[in-house]
Structure 1
Amino acid sequence: MKIRVYYEDTDAGGVVYHSNYLNFCERARSELFFKKGLTPVLENGHFVAKKIEADYIISAKLGDELKVKTELIEMKGASFKLLQTIYKENKKIFEMKITLVYITFGGKPQKITKEVKDLLLLLFVN
């Protein structure tokens, strides 16, 4: 997914504020659902972030065009892990591993059904 860096994404010096890289990755994950006519909120539950490991390599700046790549790297019973990488002009500038847990609307973790696993494989395996 391509993302343009706007003024609102930057600090006073025109450099992307650190938390916005997480927002860019969130948008990319959601967009994969939207492109299939779906939403990240499913019939029986939704996903929440449990753990994030982020590596800020090079700063993006106002006006830059970025590309976010998302890959599934692990699937467990109630969670899965993604590797998300942000590129600027084909150069890696940010990378994160995020563990997402599937929970009910009441907030309890639940096992990922075969249907949801199949959906995740469709969305996140390149």
Structure 2
Amino acid sequence: MKIRVYYEDTDCGGVVYHSNYLNFCERARSELFFQKGLSPHNEDEFFVVKKIEADYIKPARFADVLEVKTQLIKQKNTSLVMNQEIYRADELIFRMAVTVVFLKAMKPAKIPLKLMEIFDENR
């Protein structure tokens, strides 16, 4: 998924504020659903982030065009682990491992097959 860095994403020096990298990755995960005509949140079923390990490699700056790449690393019945990387052109500038848990009625639940198929395409 391509993302342009806007002024609102940066600090006063034009450098992307650290938490916005997480926002960019969240948008990319949501976009996986939207591309299939689905929503990442349905009534009482949705994913929540359980754990993030982030590595800030180089700064992104105002007006940069970035690409977020998402890859499924591990799946369990109720959770997924994904690697997400952000590139500026061919240069890796950020990476993270994120663990998400599927909830139904606010309790961990088995991930439905139709949702697993979304992530299987990103192995």
Fold equivalence (TM over 0.5): yes
Q: TM-score scaled to structure 2, two decimals? A: 0.93
Q: SS state of the match for residue 14, structure 1? A: coil
> Which residue of the partner structure matches residue 13 of structure 2?
13
Does residue 99 of the first structure (1) align with residue 99 of the second (2)?
Answer: yes
Aligned residues: 123
CA shift for structure 1 position 24: 0.3
CA distance in 2, matches of 1:60, 1:88: 8
**Following superposition of structure 1 onto structure 2, how do residues 17-96 of structure 1 map, counting pairs within 5 Å?**
17-42=17-42, 45-96=45-96
Give the gaps of 5 or more residues in structure 1: none
CA shift for structure 1 position 44: 5.6
- Conservation of the 8 A alpha-carbon contact between 2:44 and 2:106: no
CA distance in 2, matches of 1:32, 1:67: 14
Taking only aligned residues, the RMSD between alpha carbons, in angstroms, comes to: 1.4
CA distance in 2, matches of 1:117, 1:42: 15
Amino acid at match of 2:47: F
Identity %: 57
Amino acid at match of 1:112: I
- Deviation larger for 11-20 or 29-38: 29-38
Does residue 119 of the first structure (1) align with residue 79 of the second (2)?
Answer: no
Q: Which has the larger strand fraction?
A: 2
Q: SS state of the match for residue 37, structure 1? A: coil
